[in-house]
Amino acid sequence: MNLWILTEERPKIEVLKQILNKFGVDKGFAAFLDNLCILPVLENGKFSFTYELIGFRCNKVDKIFIKTVSSPHRASFVDFLIFFQDEEPTIKDTPIYAIEETKTDDSESRNTGAYQRCSKFVLLKYYYTNVKMIMLYNLQIEQKEKPTQTNIFGTKLLLTFGVEILGKELDEDIFTPFASIKEIIDFKRQMRTAPKGNVPITIKQNSDNIEISGRLIKADSLSHDPNIGALSIISAILRKLGWKKNLIITKHGLKQKHLKESNKFILIANKLNIALKGLTLPKAELKTNYWHYDKEGEKLGTIFIHTVVESFTKGYSVFENHAGSEKGYFITAKGEHIPLAKYENKEKYKAGDKSKIIHSVI
C-alpha cells in the first residue's frame, strides 16, 4: 500500500523522518531511511499538485506521496493527516495519524507552547473519533531543562485527551494524565498566580456548574489563541471525565458583537455545551468536510519553489513564511535558529503594558 501525507505546511525532511520512524515502529515494519528527497510529480509536463518522497525503503510500503490540503476551519486544522492505503485519500477515508507540529517550547513562550494548538485536537475528534493524535515538537532551539508549571499542566491535559507527545523528553513521573476533575482543579490552584493586569485561568467547581475564568478578547475580537486552546481542552476533558452539568466561561472580556458563528471557539462551545457568562451563544454547526485538496493560491507556488530549490540545488532558505502558514526562524551562517522578536519589552508587557508587543517585523 501507499503512504499518503496530507499537509497545509511545507513538508520538511526532518519532520518527515520523525513521522516515518513513528509509522515504522507502530506497525512493526522493518524500514530504512536513506537521503530522503521530495520530488514533484509531473503529468504531461505539468505539476500534478503531488510530491513523491523517495529514500524510504520498506517492503510493506510501495510509495509515499505528499499532497497540499486546506481546511474550511483554517487555523484549526492539524498540520498532517497520514493515510496508509492504495488509493489517493478522500474525505470519507480515516487517517491513521493526525499530527500537529510545533517549534515552540517553554524557553520562547509558556502559553503558546502549552495551549495554543489544543483546540485543534478538540475539533478534530468530531471528525475522526479513533484517529491517533500526536503533538510533534520539532524544536529549533534547545529544550528548556526545567519545564514550567504551565507546560506541565498543558502537557498533562493533552495526555489526558489522548494526545501522544513526540520530539520532547518527558519525565514519566511528572507528565501523567489527569485521573479526576478534582486533580485538575487542585493542580491548577497550586500554579503560580498570573502577573498583575492579566486574567488568570481558574477553575471553580460549584454544586450545579464549573466556572472557568479566562480572557478571550484580543484586538477587539474573540482571538486569544492560547486561551482558546486552554479553555477548549479543559472543557473537553471535564466532559470526558464525566461532568454533565453547566460549564461557564467567566472574565472573558467579550461582548455579544464578538460572537461569530464561524469562530472556532464558538463551534467548540456549541459541541461541548459551554456558556459564556452574560452572553448568548450563537448556534453554530461544523463544516461537513474537515479538509479538501488545494490547487490554487500563493502558498502552493512558494512551497513548490522552496521544495525544488532544496531538492535539486545546493541552495537553502535562511527564512521562510509561506502565506503565514507557520512560524519561521532566521538561520545564521553557523546554522543557529533565531526566533523572531515578539516583545519590545517582555517584562513590561507581562506587567500590563500591552504596547510593548511587536506587531510587525520589516
Distance (Å, rounded) from C-alpha 240 to C-alpha 24?
31
Which grid cell is 47?
A: 505539476
Instruction: Please state at what angle helix 181-189 crosses helix 149-161, rounded to 10 degrees.
Output: 170
Residue 101, H or E segment = strand 97-102
Question: Which stretches within the chain are classed as H helix?
Answer: 13-27, 110-115, 118-124, 149-161, 181-189, 225-240, 264-272, 298-312, 346-350
DSSP secondary structure code for residue 191 in this structure? S
pLDDT exceeds cutoff 80 at 113? no
pLDDT band at 72 (very low <50, low <70, confident <90, very high): confident
Please report the sign of the dihedral spanned by the C-alpha atoms of residue 16, residue 19, residue 22, residue 25. negative
Distance (Å, rounded) from C-alpha 60 to C-alpha 256?
54
Other Cβ atoms less than 10 A from the Cβ of 261: the count is: 12
Question: Which stretches within 74-178 are classed as H helix?
Answer: 110-115, 118-124, 149-161
Cβ(281)–Cβ(136) below 8 Å:
no
Percent of the chain having pLDDT more than 90? 65
pLDDT exceeds cutoff 90 at 188? yes
Q: Give which of 19, 115, 9, 104 is closest to 61, Cα–Cα.
A: 19
pLDDT exceeds cutoff 70 at 234? yes
* φ, ψ dihedrals at 308, nearest 5°: -65, -45
Mean pLDDT value of segment 224-238: 96
pLDDT band at 221 (very low <50, low <70, confident <90, very high): very high
Cβ(116)–Cβ(159) below 8 Å:
no
pLDDT exceeds cutoff 50 at 284? yes
Please give the pLDDT value at position 132: 98
Mean pLDDT value of segment 285-294: 93
Residue 231: partners with Cβ closer than 8 Å, 6 or more residues away: 201, 212, 214, 216, 249, 265, 274
Which grid cell is 211?
A: 466556572
Which grid cell is 41?
A: 510529480
pLDDT tens per residue across span 133-184 = 999 988 655 656 788 899 999 999 999 999 999 988 899 999 999 999 999 9
Distance (Å, rounded) from C-alpha 251 to C-alpha 162?
29
Please give the pLDDT value at position 305: 86
Question: Distance between alpha carbon 265 and the CA centroid of its chain, in Å?
Answer: 15
Question: Distance between alpha carbon 338 and the CA centroid of its chain, in Å?
Answer: 21
Mean pLDDT value of segment 320-336: 66
Residue 124 three-state SS: helix
pTM of the model: 0.85
- DSSP string computed for 268-315: HHHHHTEEETTS-PPP----S-S-EE---SHHHHHHHHHHHHHHHSS-
* φ, ψ dihedrals at 256, nearest 5°: -60, -35
Please give the pLDDT value at position 351: 47
Residue 357: partners with Cβ closer than 8 Å, 6 or more residues away: 342, 343, 344, 349
Distance (Å, rounded) from C-alpha 309 to C-alpha 210?
53
